[in-house]
Amino acid sequence: MNIDELKKVRRDLHRIPEIGFQEYKTQKYLLEFLSKLPQTHLQIETWKTGIFVRVEGTKGEKTIGYRADIDGLPIKEDTDLPFLSQHIGQMHACGHDFHMTIALALVQKLVFDRPDNHVLIIFQPAEEGPGGALPMLQSDTMKKWWPDVIFAMHIAPELPVGTVSSKEGLLFANTSELFVDWKGKGGHAAYPHQTKDMIVAASSFVVELQQIVSRMIDPLDSAVISIGKITGGFVQNVIAENARLEGTIRTLSADTMDSIKDKIEKLVQAMEIRFDCVGSIDYGSNYYQVWNNGEYINQFEQQMNQANIVYKQADQAMTGEDFGYMVKEIPGFMFWLGVDSPYGLHHAKINPNEDALIVGLKAAERMIRYINV
Ligand SMILES: CC(=O)N[C@@H](CCC[C@H](N)C(=O)O)C(=O)O
């Protein structure tokens, strides 16, 4: 695909974002694209809303895995792009439209100019939640086509086009979702003493929560607790009987994650006593950290230098990625692809520079053809 074809595919996909495990139109689009390629050395198997694509290598000694995530986010797009999301309230605000486009272009290149090794391209649903990587990893198709090495990319709005970035060891954090439901007693807004106000309980809890990271975690360690959504109540003059908080916890180690969860549980108990209410915690989905293999990061840096793509040393980030489960089981790595957008990941105005599609394709293809397994 040339840049115009890459842009077209990216824009088609950008128009139809779908959240985790509902990527039906996305899967259909991907399958239609793949069905138009010569099928002789191509094997395609669907898994839920995801797809496994295997390109048979000419020598076939090893299998190189490459993973692209395919889901969008429940965000209302706030751009004036002509290819704006057609699904109101859903958006590719994390670059998965880029990731898929590059993966499709990669398959196309590889079927016309086959590599020595086999290649397994994984179109994975539900990266933003509840997580498709772990169940895909455990699937029969994955076991049958198990790769010897695996890698993936993620767009980086803060990096210029022409740049990639990564590091050995920990790249992305351990994550856990956090949902807390509060149940008290509703009533008339003028008679608060007859109620158990869950707006006040939930608000106090959010404020107290901030002190776990700032006062109870070693400042030389790092952690994040963010609440992204609060719901509760029905109308301005009725005290809310229920409230719900939705957030996420990020840590650099599994031990710190356990310690934070323990502190959150104690805080909920304390709030139950203070507000005479019931708090219930659900940790939703948890992602294992992304740990990059040092040997492959060295190779990646060398290959990028030879391809005239600028390689920068990355810092570890508090983003999460269920790709962490894949590199836990299979040696590999993840890297950032510079897309130069003033708005960051998960922002309703993010608009990555499409020139980066060529760079991402070149970087991925180079690794697939030249990685030394
Ligand atoms: C790359 C990226 O932005 N990933 C997401 C993963 C979210 C996992 C889960 N829903 C959670 O919030 O813990 C991220 O927000 O980092």
Residue 117: pLDDT band by 50, 70, 90 thresholds? very high
Q: 50-55 and 42-47: which strand pairing?
A: antiparallel
Active site residues: 69, 128
- ipTM, two decimals, is 0.97
- Provide the pLDDT for residue 217: 95
Residue 308: pLDDT band by 50, 70, 90 thresholds? very high
Whether residues 231 and 271 share a domain: the answer is yes
Cα–Cα nearest to 166, from 361, 368, 351, 332: 332
Whether residues 88 and 185 share a domain: the answer is no
Query: To test the ligand 1 pocket, which listed residue (225, 264, 290, 319) has its Cβ within 8 A of the most ligand atoms?
Result: 319
> 76: domain CATH number?
3.40.630.10
Residue 327: pLDDT band by 50, 70, 90 thresholds? very high
Whether residues 32 and 51 share a domain: the answer is yes
Residue 66 to residue 335: CA distance in whole angstroms: 12
Residue 2 to residue 312: CA distance in whole angstroms: 26
Query: To test the ligand 1 pocket, which listed residue (21, 94, 128) has its Cβ within 8 A of the most ligand atoms?
Result: 128
Ligand 1 mean position, distance from CA 158 (Å) = 18
Whether residues 92 and 234 share a domain: the answer is no
Task: Check the annotation: does 118 bind a ligand.
Answer: no
Residue 305: pLDDT band by 50, 70, 90 thresholds? very high
Whether residues 198 and 342 share a domain: the answer is no
Query: To test the ligand 1 pocket, which listed residue (69, 248, 323, 347) has its Cβ within 8 A of the most ligand atoms?
Result: 248
**Which residues are CB-neighbours of 28 under 8 A, at least 6 positions away?**
none
**Which residues are CB-neighbours of 87 under 8 A, at least 6 positions away?**
16, 17, 18, 72
Final residue of a domain: which of 234, 262, 286?
Answer: 286
- Provide the pLDDT for residue 138: 97
pLDDT tens column, 146-170:
999 999 999 999 999 999 999 999 9
Whether residues 282 and 333 share a domain: the answer is no
Decide whether any atom of ligand 1 lies within 6 Å of the 321 Cβ: yes
pLDDT tens column, 5-20:
999 999 999 999 999 9
Whether residues 35 and 145 share a domain: the answer is yes
Whether residues 336 and 276 share a domain: the answer is no
- In angstroms, what CA-CA distances link 168 with 98, 171, 298, 299, 319? 24, 7, 8, 11, 16
Measured in whole angstroms, the distance separating CA 229 from the mean position of its chain's CA atoms is: 19
Ligand 1 mean position, distance from CA 305 (Å) = 30
Cβ-contact 102, 361 below 8 angstroms: yes
Whether residues 167 and 180 share a domain: the answer is no
Ligand 1 mean position, distance from CA 359 (Å) = 25
| Ligand 1 atom closest to Cα of residue 176 | 13
- Provide the pLDDT for residue 249: 98
Final residue of a domain: which of 286, 314, 329?
Answer: 286
Query: If you compute the radius of gyration of the chain from its CA atoms, what whole number of angstroms results?
Result: 23
Ligand 1 mean position, distance from CA 226 (Å) = 11
- Percentage of the chain beyond pLDDT 90 is 100
| Ligand 1 atom closest to Cα of residue 286 | 13
Number of domains in the chain: 2
Cα–Cα nearest to 92, from 325, 354, 327: 354
Structural domain of 248: 176-286
Residue 135: pLDDT band by 50, 70, 90 thresholds? very high
pLDDT tens column, 232-290:
999 999 999 999 999 999 999 999 999 999 999 999 999 999 999 999 999 999 999 99
Final residue of a domain: which of 261, 286, 311?
Answer: 286
Kindly report the pTM of this predicted structure: 0.95
Q: What average pLDDT does this structure show over 76-101?
A: 98
Residue 102: pLDDT band by 50, 70, 90 thresholds? very high
Q: What is the mean pLDDT of the chain?
A: 97
Whether residues 303 and 160 share a domain: the answer is yes
- Provide the pLDDT for residue 129: 95
Residue 122 to residue 116: CA distance in whole angstroms: 19
Whether residues 163 and 181 share a domain: the answer is no
Whether residues 94 and 206 share a domain: the answer is no
Task: Check the annotation: does 14 bind a ligand.
Answer: no
Residue 358 to residue 38: CA distance in whole angstroms: 22
Task: Check the annotation: does 128 bind a ligand.
Answer: yes
